[in-house]
Amino acid sequence: MQEGNLANALGVVKRNIPRADKAAIAALARFGVATIHEAMGRVGLMKPYVRPIFAGAHVCGPAVTVLLQPGDNWMLHVAAEQIRDGDVVVAACTTDCEDGFFGELLATSYRARGARGLVIDGGVRDTKELAAMPFPVFSRAVSAKGTVKSTLGSVNIPVVCAGAVVHPGDVVVADDDGVVVVPSAAAAKTADAAEARERNEVDKRAQLAAGVLGLDMYKMREPLARAGLRYID
């Protein structure tokens, strides 16, 4: 079956999903979102309206994906059963909706099942309790508004969450800078590229801290002149 067909199909729960390699996930967990996004070739980022509900959280793990209906969190309950230790739940919605789909009770359940956090293109509530646990949540909004449990979505199908495609098992990394999705097959090499990038930055940082200009360090003066930049006094 073509993947394009499966995407967004309603009423389906996929139980056995291939998760990204554990070592690769562990390797990726050492880097921030901005670094991984660069290491990916500047792709895979969610839109910046998804923000952490408390500062300083950093989660990295394979995605259990959820497709929600507006005002309905039934599938978040269905998803709980599919969580394995270390997973990050990624919840998209069939339409823009800022209702409070998730709160402290579900977080208690998710944590008991081993979830590391939640990324949701919707709203959440009980933010004080979530911060106290702490259970990291990256969401579009905070809203006390509750939801019903009456219409089917899906679990573990490819979803579009905040503009990024997420396949079940992809590595999801989230921190104060945003959320990035690393396809399973690219996890190891992305971690390598991230490490190379960070190593490379150590020297750059030292030079910049010493007052060297990026203009010189990155050899920009010649291309700037070629592009026509004029200095005036």
Residues 179-198 that bind its own copies (CB under 8 A): 180, 183-186
Query: Are 175 and 35 contacting, i.e. CB atoms less than 8 angstroms apart?
Result: no
Residues 66-85 contacting its own copies, CB under 8 A: 69-72, 74, 77-78, 80-81
Site string for its own copies, 142-181 (x = CB under 8 A): xxxxx-xxxxx-----x-x--xxx-x--x----xxxx-x-
Residues 117-136 contacting its own copies, CB under 8 A: 123, 125-128
Amino acid at 198: E
Nearer CB in complex with its own copies: 27/157: 157
Residues 8 and 216: their CA atoms lie apart, in Å, by 49
Query: Are 129 and 100 contacting, i.e. CB atoms less than 8 angstroms apart?
Result: no
Pick from 26, 43, 84, 203: which binds its own copies (CB under 8 A)?
Answer: 43
Q: 175 forms bridges with which residues in the sheet?
A: 178
CB-based contacts of 35, cutoff 8 Å, min separation 6: 194, 197, 198
Residues 21-40 contacting its own copies, CB under 8 A: 32-34, 37-38
Count the site residues for its own copies by CB under 8 A.
Answer: 108
Query: Are 90 and 159 contacting, i.e. CB atoms less than 8 angstroms apart?
Result: yes
Residues 203-222 contacting its own copies, CB under 8 A: 204-205, 208-215, 218, 220
